[in-house]
Amino acid sequence: MTLAGGSVDTAEGFVAPGPNSFDLPPVFSVGNFDVTKPMLQLLLAAVLVFGFFYAAAKQRSMVPGKLQFIGESAYGFVRNSIARDIIGSRDFMRFVPYLLALFFFILLNNFFGSIPFIQFPTFSRAGMVYGLAGLSWVIYNVAGIRRHGFLGYLKLQTVPAGITGAMLILRWFHWSSCRTSSCARSRSRCDCSPTCSPDTC
């Protein structure tokens, strides 16, 4: 007998639910392609987010109605509290549409876990989160390379701010001398400097 949550009560005793409890059966199939509940929720969330902001911006006026006010408040929250505070005041505006859509898309999919008759948080499936994280990672790196060039962006990602070329060379020589001398002298006491490799102690 199958219990709630996918657990099974057999003649031998209770079998606890496992990862297979989240393998949902398809809602319907198109040829050999199975459409599951999380897929439909992703589509529903995209339609709802687009539909809400389209309706809020459709009839703009100097004195906003309730829907326009809610839409402008949501837009202002993402623009001011997320984009401008994190990205900075120079280049944040071109990323606001992406951040607005991403924020409310994720929020709505998480709310699905509390809505009756849906009651399944879409992003409990890790693969969907990996997809959005990968998209953000690509946008972040492409924007950085376009702004600073490939070598400039690589330097910004690997060298701490404020470190000049001469300081970086001196630091490299310090690391080299630490590995060859300091750790060798302290091997018997095993109290290497934090900059030394522990493997040499």
Domains of the chain, by residue range, sit at 1-35, 159-200
Mean pLDDT of 79-102: 88
Instruction: Look at residue 118 in the predicted model and tell me its pLDDT.
Output: 83
Compute the mean pLDDT over every residue in the chain, rounded to the nearest whole number. Answer: 79
How far, in Å, CA of 7 to CA of 116, rounded?
22
CA distance to 16, 92, 131, 191, per residue, from 138 (Å): 40, 17, 11, 42
Residues 6+ apart with CB under 8 A from 31: none
Instruction: Look at residue 62 in the predicted model and tell me its pLDDT.
Output: 81
Instruction: Look at residue 191 in the predicted model and tell me its pLDDT.
Output: 46
CA distance to 59, 102, 171, per residue, from 95 (Å): 24, 11, 37
The per-residue pLDDT for range 13-63, each reduced to its tens digit, is 787 877 777 677 788 887 888 888 888 889 999 999 999 999 988 887 887
Residues 6+ apart with CB under 8 A from 7: 14, 15, 16, 17, 21
Instruction: Look at residue 64 in the predicted model and tell me its pLDDT.
Output: 77
Instruction: Look at residue 104 in the predicted model and tell me its pLDDT.
Output: 94
How far, in Å, CA of 103 to CA of 97, rounded?
10
Q: Which residue has better confidence, 169 or 134?
A: 134
Instruction: Look at residue 5 in the predicted model and tell me its pLDDT.
Output: 52
Q: Which residue has better confidence, 63 or 77?
A: 77
* Exposed e or buried b per residue across 19-53, where buried means at least 16 C-beta atoms within 10 angstroms of its C-beta: eeeeeeeeeeeeeeeeeeebbebbeebeeebeebb
Instruction: Look at residue 24 in the predicted model and tell me its pLDDT.
Output: 75
Q: Return the beta strands (E) in the chain as ranges.
A: 8-10, 13-15, 28-30, 33-35
Residue 5, amino acid: G
